[in-house]
Structure 1
Amino acid sequence: MYTPKTFQETDRDTLFQFIRDNSFALLISTGNDGIPVATHLPIELLPSTDGQFHLVGHLAKANPHWKLLTGQTPALAVFSGAHSYISSSWYDHVNVPTWNYLSVHVTGRTTLLTDDQTLDFLRKQVDKYEVRSACPVSVDSMTEAYVRKEMRGVVAFSMTLDSIQGTAKLSQNRDDKNYRNIITELRHTGDENAEKMAAEMVSRRPASDSEPAGVGPMGKLPSSDQ
């Protein structure tokens, strides 16, 4: 993933939490014909028995993508967060529009899980997403015979974390005045993604008590942040 140094996210704990919070990912493999194959699916970050971490997910057995996940097959998992258009009209100088976004890419090798491993994973995954339900269900609330019957329609996999790259493109290359103005304009759009982007920008560069939002020293600005 191309990421200018200014926008690189390298803190391991931050990257891991981002994956947990944005677990609906895009899994990409290369088919035998050289054409990429992609599937949208929830992928969980879980600890391995050796104390390391790996990614785990499952696909429908009717989806031929799973056949590419055997035998330590290389794959790419893309986790996306908030993103928003940034108008150059929000700057106090002439510039071009851009796009702010949050994303994490993980590369690794995939292997298929056994039935018992799949059952254990499904139990953890259902529990994770049912926690906010008014009347939560669980794998344990169903008979094991029923669950194993339904499992015939899915294939679960594990993926190593060979590399992990994070991009947090949040207008870090702007001075405080323009940075604060971008936050204000994002909030005025009424867009949910823009509001999330504004909140992330505030958390990364809080306004000081002596500095009103939108006011700050002028600095030397690049002509573009692409």
Structure 2
Amino acid sequence: MYINKHNRETDPERLLQFMQAHSFALFITTGENGMPMATHLPIELVVSADGPHKLVGHLAKANPQWKTLVPETPALVVFSGPHAYISSSWYDHPNVPTWNYLSVQASGRTRILSDDETLALLRIQLDRYEAASQHPVSVDSLTEAYVRREMRGVVAFEMTIDTLEGAAKLSQNRDDKNHAAIVAQLRQQSDPNARRIADEMAARRQPPDRL
């Protein structure tokens, strides 16, 4: 993806943490006809200490996108975070409006998971997303036999990450006065995304490049 030099996220740990925190992502592949196919779904990051990191998820079998997952299919996963509109009126000089945001993109090659690997993925996802429930369910509480029957309706996949890029567009190129004005205006917005962007801007503030 295009990333301005001011906005490139280069901290590997921050990229991994972002993917874990924003796991509802956009999974994109290309069909035989050359047309892209995309599905929004939860995707889990599997961190490896001695090899490439991986992403795992599953598609509904009724979703024809799973048929693009032939061995070594190239794929793209987009993780999106908070974003906010930046008004021209917030500057002390004429300027165009823009949009601040956080995003990570991962690309790599896919393979379809076995039944046992699919069961392990569903166990991880249920344990993670049910953790905050008052009465959490699990593979064991649903019974493994029941989950395996339901697995007939899904196709799970793994993507080995070849490239990982992050964008943190947070008005890094603005001078202190205008940067502070943008933060102040965002904190006055009712949209929680705007306030989250303001917090990120303040936390990450570095002196702008001196040209």
SS in 2 for 1:161: strand
CA distance in 2, matches of 1:185, 1:25: 29
CA distance in 2, matches of 1:142, 1:156: 19
CA distance in 2, matches of 1:124, 1:219: 44
Deviant stretches of 4+, over 4 Å: 48-51, 217-221
CA distance in 1, matches of 2:47, 2:143: 27
The C-alpha deviation readout for 1:128-149, integer Å capped at 9, x for no partner, is: 1111111111112122111100
Alignment of 1:205-224 (within 5 A): 205=205
CA distance in 2, matches of 1:137, 1:202: 39
Superposition deviation, residue 205 in structure 1: 2.1
Alignment of 1:102-141 (within 5 A): 102-141=102-141
Given that residues 78 and 106 in structure 2 are in contact (C-alpha distance below 8 angstroms), is that contact kept between their aligned partners in structure 1?
yes
Alignment of 1:31-42 (within 5 A): 31-42=31-42
Compared CA separation, residues 37 and 218, structure 1 to 2 (3 A): closer
CA distance in 2, matches of 1:218, 1:76: 32
Instruction: State the AA in 1 paired with 2:201.
Output: M
Superposition deviation, residue 195 in structure 1: 1.0
Instruction: State the AA in 2 paired with 1:97.
Output: P
Alignment of 1:1-226 (within 5 A): 1-47=1-47, 51-205=51-205
Given that residues 75 and 107 in structure 2 are in contact (C-alpha distance below 8 angstroms), is that contact kept between their aligned partners in structure 1?
yes
SS in 1 for 2:179: helix
Superposition deviation, residue 193 in structure 1: 1.1
CA distance in 1, matches of 2:202, 2:127: 32
Superposition deviation, residue 126 in structure 1: 0.9
Given that residues 83 and 101 in structure 1 are in contact (C-alpha distance below 8 angstroms), is that contact kept between their aligned partners in structure 2?
yes
Q: Give structure 2 stretches of 5+ with no counterpart.
A: none
Superposition deviation, residue 52 in structure 1: 3.7
Could you tell me the TM-score, scaled by structure 2's length?
0.95
Given that residues 46 and 56 in structure 2 are in contact (C-alpha distance below 8 angstroms), is that contact kept between their aligned partners in structure 1?
yes
RMSD of aligned Cα (Å): 2.0
Given that residues 52 and 161 in structure 2 are in contact (C-alpha distance below 8 angstroms), is that contact kept between their aligned partners in structure 1?
no
Given that residues 74 and 109 in structure 1 are in contact (C-alpha distance below 8 angstroms), is that contact kept between their aligned partners in structure 2?
yes
Superposition deviation, residue 93 in structure 1: 1.0
Over the matched positions of the two proteins, sequence identity in percent amounts to 63
Could you tell me the TM-score, scaled by structure 1's length?
0.89
